Amino acid sequence: MTKLRAAITGIHAFVPDYKLTNDELAKMVDTNDEWILTRTGIKTRHILKGEGKGTSDMGAEAVKGLLKKTNTNPDEIDLVICATVTPDMQFPATANIIADKASIKNAFHFDINAACSGQIYALTTAAMYIESGNYKKVIVVGADKMSSIVDYTDRATCVIFGDAAGALLLEPTTEDVGIIDSIHQADGSGRIHLHQKAGGSLKPASHETVDAREHYIYQEGQAVFKFAVSKMADVSVEMMKKHNIEPDDLTWLVPHQANLRIIEATARRMGINREQVMINIERYGNTTSATIPLCLWEWESQLKKGDKIILAAFGGGFTWGAIYLKWAYDGKKE
């Protein structure tokens, strides 16, 4: 029997209008454009404004646009997986809320929390549902309203993160395209360097936790940087070796956009050129689960059937991994 693979057959994204510049951040904390740009590569990030707007609002916009672009009836969707660390609420899953807002009625839905690796963990999970032969149309949506957990008095974290959502449609194929392989790893001891201290069962929300600013991202930047540089590069190089991919053979590296220096170090270790790497961190910052779909969405018109692509990510947990895929269609779907 011919093996089924999961192919990405459509992509869409949503970026909120409000653009937060480095100069504006310099009015909020002791920082400046030059420091942010040289240390992170970020110039602007977008922020979701407005009372009563959460991660699901961005996710639903991305999914509705995806359904329209791919001419897909919402009733045909079998499964929606949402990767997020900023769910609308502790429960139900944000995927449930997104599916409801996008009028998806015949699917089941759940969230995956793997921090900045959420998108690739979710893609691998979705691919396995497709490969089983029982599911024909699966949506993976990566959405994060990072501004809801960023402490805008902490200059070391508030410059990094932005809000956005991206959605991918996966369908079965027997052609030589689609998701070929994935390598995922995790090390829970890394949690000490990057986490949110309160709001979970370990330390439920209280006046004290709010006063201590414990509902925001806690990050030891240098420790995270060190792990991210080595792990994202290690796993990407491992994927190249496993599939005999020479640097010239790889069409694109799509790295999680956490810090330009991490991306450049990964590309150097892989032996590839700057032109082979999708980078848009300067405009969006780190949008956590949305960075990879945001890149694919922006580069969609340049992508061709058969392009060899490695997706790579590193995130809180620690979590990291890489996916090797061959792109399934030419150019942009309108």
Ligand X SMILES: CC(C)(COP(=O)(O)OP(=O)(O)OC[C@H]1O[C@@H](n2cnc3c(N)ncnc32)[C@H](O)[C@@H]1OP(=O)(O)O)[C@@H](O)C(=O)NCCC(=O)NCCS
Candidate list 82, 116, 158, 295, residue with the active-site label: 116
Residue with Cβ nearer ligand X (155 or 333): 155
Rule CB under 6 A: choose which of 146, 224, 254, 296 binds ligand X: 224
Is 193 a known active-site residue?
Answer: no
d(CA 176, CA 137): 19
Tokens 């009836």: give the residue.
73
Q: Taking the complex as a whole, how short is the minimal distance between the CB of residue 86 and ligand X, in angstroms? A: 14
Judged by CB under 6 A, the number of residues near ligand X is 19
Is 184 a known active-site residue?
Answer: no
d(CA 73, CA 303): 25
Is 215 a known active-site residue?
Answer: no
* Interface with ligand X, residue 156, by CB under 6 A: yes
Q: Taking the complex as a whole, how short is the minimal distance between the CB of residue 221 and ligand X, in angstroms? A: 3
Residue whose C-alpha is closest to residue 72's, from 127, 139, 128: 139
Candidate list 96, 113, 259, 286, residue with the active-site label: 286
Rule CB under 6 A: choose which of 218, 225, 320, 327 binds ligand X: 225
Q: Taking the complex as a whole, how short is the minimal distance between the CB of residue 116 and ligand X, in angstroms? A: 4
Q: Which residues pair with 19 in a beta bridge?
A: 46
Q: Taking the complex as a whole, how short is the minimal distance between the CB of residue 205 and ligand X, in angstroms? A: 24
Q: Residue 318 carries which DSSP code?
A: T
Query: In the chain, where does DSSP find H-type helix?
Result: 22-28, 33-40, 55-69, 94-101, 118-131, 155-158, 207-211, 221-242, 260-270, 281-284, 291-299
**DSSP-derived secondary structure for 228-246:** HHHHHHHHHHHHHHHTT--
Candidate list 193, 256, 259, 295, residue with the active-site label: 256
Which of positions 266-305 make contact with ligand X (CB under 6 A)?
286
Active site residues: 116, 256, 286
